[in-house]
């Protein structure tokens, strides 16, 4: 596999997103091996994109059932193709879930049928508006089991500052692209959104290449 970084392109099926995913999937698997339930459970991925992560993780947790979702239905064929290629029969067919549209959040009223022990979301905030944090936290608070958690992975600012120069550089590159919603968002804003929906930041794990895994649980 080449380590050459392709040009920035947030499309979920782009070479750039695949390159980023190939770098972060192994460290993320390490975190999930520590934290995912050892018994049965339902695991939901938000913004699955190509499906490369869920298809990489699922074979390591045969006792769990995985549910890929995205707002963009065009990625579903790729997710299904990967599940077939990898023989992953613990991955459900992808479902349309748009964090800005509560009508797509499974049937949150039916808690018995629709609760998830873990919800995870990888690399969405640098190319999405911070306003989706509100939907993400509300969705998680509706769908998580009482002792479940939401794991958000990506690069972030912390209280208005960048933890490293490379994160500042990445933010500058994103900001100069002329798309108002691109750029590194602030963990403080995620915490404020979580508070509104009865969740709190429980753990902030430093990940390679100046990323974080943020673990939110019920208060
Ligand atoms: C940069 S891609 C990352 C995809 C994948 N998580 C990965 O790391 O390879 C961002 C993804 O967020 C999805 N997305 C953007 N806004 C969303 C929303 N409001 N609700 C759900 N998914 C959304 C996009 O469709 C896209 O698949």
How far does residue 121's CA lie from ligand 1's centre (Å)? 8
Helices (H), 10-157: 15-35, 52-57, 76-85, 132-143
Confidence of residue 114 (pLDDT cuts 50, 70, 90): confident
Query: What is the percent of the chain with per-residue pLDDT over 70, rounded to a whole number?
Result: 96
17 lines ligand 1 (CB under 6 A): yes
Using alpha carbons, select from 207, 190, 187, 211 the residue that is nearest to residue 199: 190
Q: Could you say which DSSP state residue 214 is in?
A: E
Q: What is the pLDDT of residues 53-67, one digit of tens each?
A: 999 999 999 999 999
The answer, yes or no, to whether any atom of ligand 1 lies below 6 A from the CB of 184, is: no
Distance between Cα 12 and ligand 1 center (Å): 7
Find the helix or strand (DSSP H, E) in which 153 lies.
Answer: strand 144-154
Q: Tell how far the Cα of 99 is from the centroid of ligand 1, in angstroms.
A: 10
Q: How far apart are CA 57 and CA 53, in angstroms?
A: 6
Tokens coding 151 = 């794991």
Substitution candidate for ligand 1 out of 15, 24, 70 with most atoms within 8 A of CB: 70
pTM for the structure as a whole = 0.96
Sorting pLDDT into bands at 50, 70 and 90, what band is 1? very low
- The pLDDT tens digits for 146-162 are 999 999 999 999 999 99
Identify the CATH class of 25-218: alpha beta
Q: What pLDDT score does 106 carry?
A: 83
pLDDT score for 201: 98
**For position 179, what pLDDT does the model report?**
92
What pLDDT score does 4 carry?
82
| The pLDDT of residue 112 is above 90 | no
């Amino acid at each position: 596999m080449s380590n050459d970084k392709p040009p920035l392109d947030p499309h979920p099926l782009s070479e750039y997103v695949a390159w980023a995913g190939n770098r972060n999937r192994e460290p993320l698997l390490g975190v999930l091996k520590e934290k995912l339930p050892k018994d049965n459970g339902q695991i939901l991925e938000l913004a699955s994109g190509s499906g490369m992560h869920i298809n990489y993780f699922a074979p390591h947790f045969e006792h769990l059932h995985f549910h890929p979702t995205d707002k963009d239905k065009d990625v579903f064929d790729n997710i299904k193709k990967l599940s077939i290629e990898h023989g992953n029969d613990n991955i459900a067919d992808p479902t349309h879930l748009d964090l800005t549209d509560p009508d797509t959040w499974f049937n949150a009223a039916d808690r018995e049928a629709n609760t998830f022990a873990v919800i995870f979301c990888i690399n969405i905030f640098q190319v999405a508006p911070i306003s989706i944090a509100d939907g993400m936290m509300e969705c998680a608070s509706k769908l998580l089991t009482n002792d479940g958690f939401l794991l958000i992975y990506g690069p972030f600012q912390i209280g208005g500052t960048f933890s490293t120069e490379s994160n500042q550089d990445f933010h500058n590159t994103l900001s100069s692209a002329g798309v108002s919603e691109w750029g590194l968002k602030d963990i403080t804003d995620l915490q404020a959104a979580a508070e509104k929906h009865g969740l709190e930041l429980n753990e902030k794990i430093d990940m390679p290449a100046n990323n974080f895994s943020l673990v939110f649980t019920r208060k």
